[in-house]
Amino acid sequence: MFGRIAQLLIKEFLQLKRDKSARFRLLIPPILQMLLFGYAATFEVFNVATAILDQDHTQESRALVAAFVHSSRFEVTTVAATRKEIENAVEVSNAQVAIVVPPGFSELLLKGQSAPIQVLVDGTNSNTALIALGYIGEIANSFGQAHALDLAQRSGRALGQPLVHVDVARRYWYNPNLNSRWFFVPGVIGTLVLVTIVNLTAFAIVREREVGTLEQLLVTPIRPVEFIIGKTLPFFFIGLVEVSIVAGVGMLWFKIPFVGNPFLLLAGTCLFLLGTLSIGLLISTICTTQQQAFASNFFVLNPMFILSGFSFPISSMPHVLQWLTLLDPLRYYLIIIRGTFLKGVGIDYLWPQMLALATIGLILLTLSVMRFRKSLD
Amino acid sequence: MMAAQSAPAIVVDKLGKRFGTFSALDAVSFDVRRGEIMGFLGPNGAGKSTLIRVLCGLLRPSSGRAVVSGIDITQDPEAVRKRIGYMSQKFSLYSDLSVVENLRFFGGIYGVCPGAINERIRFAVDMAGLQGRETSLVSTLAGGWKQRLALGCAILHKPDVLFLDEPTSGVDPSSRRRFWTLIHELSAGGVSVLVSTHYMDEAEYCMRIAMMAAGRLVALGTPRELRQQSIGGELLELECANIGAAMDLVAKIPGVHDVAVFGDALHLLVDDGAETARAACALLAEHGLPGASARQIAPSMEDMFVHLVRTARAQGAAAGT
């Protein structure tokens, strides 16, 4: 038994060694995608195109405009002279945000009353819009506070109004600067490994079926289980190497902290790979050509990605979809990988995820082995 | 041990295989002796490949039983697989591995012991005439070489029985001849060979021939026996002018069952060769086609095959109504 599995392993690695493009495909795209995701996949908002219309033309209004200009969150692309111009800028998407300082702004401010400004936001990308709106509020608030403080100091509390000091002490755990890259990069590790391993496994077996070598093997004394082990074990090792490489890029290049137990992550990764290998095997049993496998992979992997909680919060999904996420191995792996990377939580917290991964993996494995045997007839 | 040696290498008894309502094999029975080369002939879809795939354990039979090398194929397929070699229609070795890597891989899968593997690889390389190309990638080999390498991979573990499913399709004639020489050498060494082909001339290389049509075995015997018996009459070769007109004329002669064009002559299937030969020449002369000559000939495999397939179809149609 072990002799035959060993022969298959030797063969797989010989083929891999000879396939120069495979080595490239295994190494370069995950690293490139890691870099791409690390930079591109972010919820943070910088350099929002902004149009400004100052109808007040006072020292105060200019100071407020300057506060926006100097913020890295906003980039003033249009300084409008009329109301029409500013609406136009938003309409043609020259600006995503428009800020209008109305006449009489400084007058109200100097009276110590609340001075409104008008903000127009292009809500097409609701996420960016909301975040930008938050920043505008923040900048306007701090401007108002600074001004009130200044006024109070100069007038020596002459106005007799106590300064309301609102101090919201916010402290974010695990990711103190709310750096969304910290959230995404560990997730990318799981996603990349899922896609790579499911594809590799499905294609490798379907290729043998397509070329006819599978049939040639089936007339040898090899058992289906030996074939499956010999065929999937290489991808298990490749999966572990991929996780290490991609995690290495995340930690060394993006400086994502790893505060947890690496062995816990290793254990979680092994369980996750069990599931992904089984999915690949399952796909290979329903496909006779590599084109079919390609189409099936696409059909399976995209929903797994969307339901995993990688970027869309599971708690915001409709209930039916929330239940569906429970079947998604990536969901559990993301919790494990984020938990070990950022929170450093232990097995006492992650065991339900481990158990879920192991259960899904074993069910999928049993199913795929049964289907594989059947597909031979 | 002696008993095992004299026992047939393959015993097939009323073997059937259905795919849904389609009967791919219908109660097929035959034996193959040790060291015998048994050829299976038949049109595409006759069930030759299905038969081989059932006997190799790639398909489960629907009915009947088969014993290969003394082992029932449904009871212990794994033990059967240790004693058989198989070459499929489609070339199916790893083209991104070298000649020796393929041999070593299949040798290992077949459980050839590490002490003997190098000697077996040497043997296979010599047999296939692949000396000097041991490290070449299989993808760089020409068709005939690939085919001999596939045979080499199939005999590494010294199987008792070899199953060859149209092994020579797509291979040039000289390579085919060389391949058949190898098969005869293996047979002389005691290996039984069950081979399917659709090349009629290759049937002559076989010791016995089984003809299949529509999932049934329609004839079985040595090439000589088949030529004599199965055609259902005697065969006349008629040489004459204006073959087209002559064909219509002679078809009407009583005792002529079939007329077919073979090159620039007609082949007539008749009850009595000598009598019909005289009648045909006379008839043609009467209709202004003098100088015809008819002589009795031994039927070729192709004659026999065409006749058998026609008969089987007629029987099938009769059974269908």
Residue of A nearest to B101 (CA): A11
Whether residue A212 and residue B58 make contact (CB cut-off 8 A), yes or no, is: no
Residues of A in contact with B96 (CB under 8 A): 15, 18-19
Task: Look at phi and psi of residue A13 and say left if phi exceeds 0, alpha if psi is from -120 to 50, else beta.
Answer: alpha
The predicted pLDDT at position A162 comes to 43
Domain count for chain B: 2
| Domain segments of chain A as ranges | 2-41+179-375, 48-155
B311 in a structural domain: no
Whether residue B91 and residue A15 make contact (CB cut-off 8 A), yes or no, is: no
pLDDT category at B29 given cuts 50, 70, 90 is very high
The predicted pLDDT at position A172 comes to 53
Domain boundaries, position B240: 232-298
The predicted pLDDT at position B85 comes to 94
**Residue B203 shares a structural domain with residue B258:** no
Residues of B in contact with A219 (CB under 8 A): 56-58, 81, 84, 86, 163
What are the pLDDT digits (tens) for B263-284? 888 888 888 888 888 888 888 8
- A118-121: strand order across its sheet: A74-80, A48-54, A97-101, A118-121
What are the pLDDT digits (tens) for A269-282? 999 999 999 999 99
* Interface mutation target, options B50, B82, B109, chain A, most CBs of A under 10 Å: B109
The predicted pLDDT at position A236 comes to 94
Main-chain phi, psi angles of B172, to 5 degrees: -70, 160
List residues of A whose CB lies inside 8 A of any B CB.
3-4, 6-8, 10-11, 14-15, 18-19, 211-213, 215-223, 376-377
Q: Using a CB–CB cutoff of 8 Å, tell me whether B86 touches chain A.
A: yes
**Residue B131 shares a structural domain with residue B193:** yes
What's A174's DSSP letter?
S
**Residue B190 shares a structural domain with residue B203:** yes
pLDDT at B17 exceeding the cut of 60: yes
B52 in a structural domain: yes
Tell me the average pLDDT across B247-262: 84
CATH of the domain at B110: 3.40.50.300
Least confidently predicted of A125-134, B10-19, B303-312: B303-312
What are the pLDDT digits (tens) for A91-103? 777 888 888 888 9
What are the pLDDT digits (tens) for B60-69? 899 999 999 9
Residues of B in contact with A222 (CB under 8 A): 109
Tell me the average pLDDT across B110-138: 91
How far apart are the C-alpha atoms of B27 and B217, rounded to whole Å?
Answer: 8
**Residue B251 shares a structural domain with residue B163:** no
R_g over Cα of chain B: 23
Residue of B nearest to A212 (CA): B92
What's B140's DSSP letter?
G
**Residue B174 shares a structural domain with residue B198:** yes
What are the pLDDT digits (tens) for A190-236? 988 999 899 989 988 899 988 889 889 988 988 888 889 999 999 99
Residues of B in contact with A15 (CB under 8 A): 94, 96-97
The predicted pLDDT at position A377 comes to 60
**Residue B173 shares a structural domain with residue B135:** yes
Give yes or no for a contact between B208 and B221, defined as CB atoms under 8 angstroms apart: yes
Q: Which residues of chain A have pLDDT under 70?
A: 1, 155-179, 375-377
pLDDT category at B318 given cuts 50, 70, 90 is low
Mean pLDDT over the full length of chain B: 86
Q: Of B189, B206, B227, at which residue does a domain stop? A: B227
Question: How many contacts (CB atoms, under 8 Å) link A and B?
Answer: 67
**Residue B236 shares a structural domain with residue B191:** no
pLDDT at B171 exceeding the cut of 70: yes
**Residue B281 shares a structural domain with residue B203:** no
B222 in a structural domain: yes
**Residue B9 shares a structural domain with residue B141:** yes
A373 vs B186, higher pLDDT: B186
B58 in a structural domain: yes
B80 vs B288, higher pLDDT: B80
B313 in a structural domain: no
How far apart are the C-alpha atoms of A350 and B143, rounded to whole Å?
Answer: 57
CATH of the domain at B263: 3.30.70.100
Q: Of B227, B259, B287, at which residue does a domain stop? A: B227
CA dihedral B232, B237, B243, B247 (to 10 degrees): -20
**Residue B257 shares a structural domain with residue B278:** yes
**Residue B87 shares a structural domain with residue B148:** yes
B320 in a structural domain: no
Q: Using a CB–CB cutoff of 8 Å, tell me whether B60 touches chain A.
A: yes
**Residue B134 shares a structural domain with residue B93:** yes
| Helix/strand/coil percentages in chain B, nearest 5 | 40, 25, 30
Give the bridge partners for B270, in sequence order. B234, B256
Least confidently predicted of A89-93, B72-76, B162-166, B221-225: A89-93
Whether residue B58 and residue A14 make contact (CB cut-off 8 A), yes or no, is: no
Q: Which CATH superfamily is domain A48-155 in?
A: abc type-2 transporter like domain (3.40.1710.10)
Q: DSSP letters along A319-334, please?
A: HHHHHHHTT-HHHHHH
Instruction: Annotate B163-198 with b (16+ C-beta within 10 A) or e (fewer).
Output: bbbbbbbebeeebbebbbebbeebbeeebbbbbbbb
